[in-house]
Amino acid sequence: MTETNDFIVPPRRWAEIGGIADNLRHKLGLAEEPRVPVIEIIERVLDQRLGLVRFEVGSKQEMGRAEGYTCPNGDFIMLREDVYTGVCAGEGRPRFTAAHELGHWAMHTNIPLARARRGDGTPSFRLAEPQANQFAAEFLMPECFIDALDDEDDLIQRFGVSWEAARNRLRYLHKHGRL
């Protein structure tokens, strides 16, 4: 997907997305774990053990600028090879990308999709990409493990995320009076 393209999806409140992420963590037995093994969840649990989704690694040539892709009917989640290598190494940005694709799978499988362009006036709560980003933030950095004294470095260490993801999560929680 290019930077300006998106899809219109059913509207979701950010709190609803947080509930979806928390529910998945709970079903996987990870509700009490600050750092989740996101690639193991996708590859070993959802694919190999449960057979709910096929996990694939795509080449840079095949995927181009797309770091990940989730089949709209939920058949597969694909990560570009360098992203897969990064998430396996525990790098923050690739972990977020994997969680983002997991969010598409959890929220946007088998639903009607309409193309949209960012900046066309469609509110973010109706767009697939912001919804998947919110899911990734909630899934990787649950509010219950964050307190008002935390800074970006605390979240990076605790959750294995990038500085940008940690900054955005803290800003969101402060802005909404949750810290």
Per-residue HEC secondary structure of 41-89 comes to HHHHHHHHHCCCCEEEEECHHHHCCCCEEECCCCCEEEEEHHHHHHHHC
- CA 34, chain centre distance (Å): 15
Spatial neighbors of 49 by CB under 8 A, at least 6 apart, are: none
Q: Which domain holds residue 42?
A: 5-143
Check whether 157 has a pLDDT greater than 60. Answer: yes
Question: Does residue 160 lie within any of the structural domains?
Answer: no
Q: pLDDT per residue over 120-140, tens digit each?
A: 889 999 999 999 999 999 999
What is the domain count for the chain? 1
- Specify the higher pLDDT residue, 156 or 118: 156
Q: pLDDT per residue over 76-107, tens digit each?
A: 999 999 999 999 999 999 999 999 999 999 99
Question: Does residue 48 lie within any of the structural domains?
Answer: yes
Question: Does residue 168 lie within any of the structural domains?
Answer: no
pLDDT at 3: 52
Q: pLDDT per residue over 45-74, tens digit each?
A: 999 999 999 999 999 999 999 999 999 999
Question: Does residue 78 lie within any of the structural domains?
Answer: yes
Question: Does residue 42 lie within any of the structural domains?
Answer: yes
Question: Does residue 112 lie within any of the structural domains?
Answer: yes
CB atoms < 10 A from the CB of 173, how many?
Answer: 18
CATH of the domain at 53: 1.10.10
Give, for 106, the enclosing helix (H) or strand (E). helix 92-107
Q: pLDDT per residue over 16-47, tens digit each?
A: 999 999 999 999 999 999 999 999 999 999 99
Of the candidate ranges 4-18, 35-49, 160-174, the one whose mean pLDDT is the lowest: 4-18
Question: Does residue 150 lie within any of the structural domains?
Answer: no
Question: Does residue 73 lie within any of the structural domains?
Answer: yes
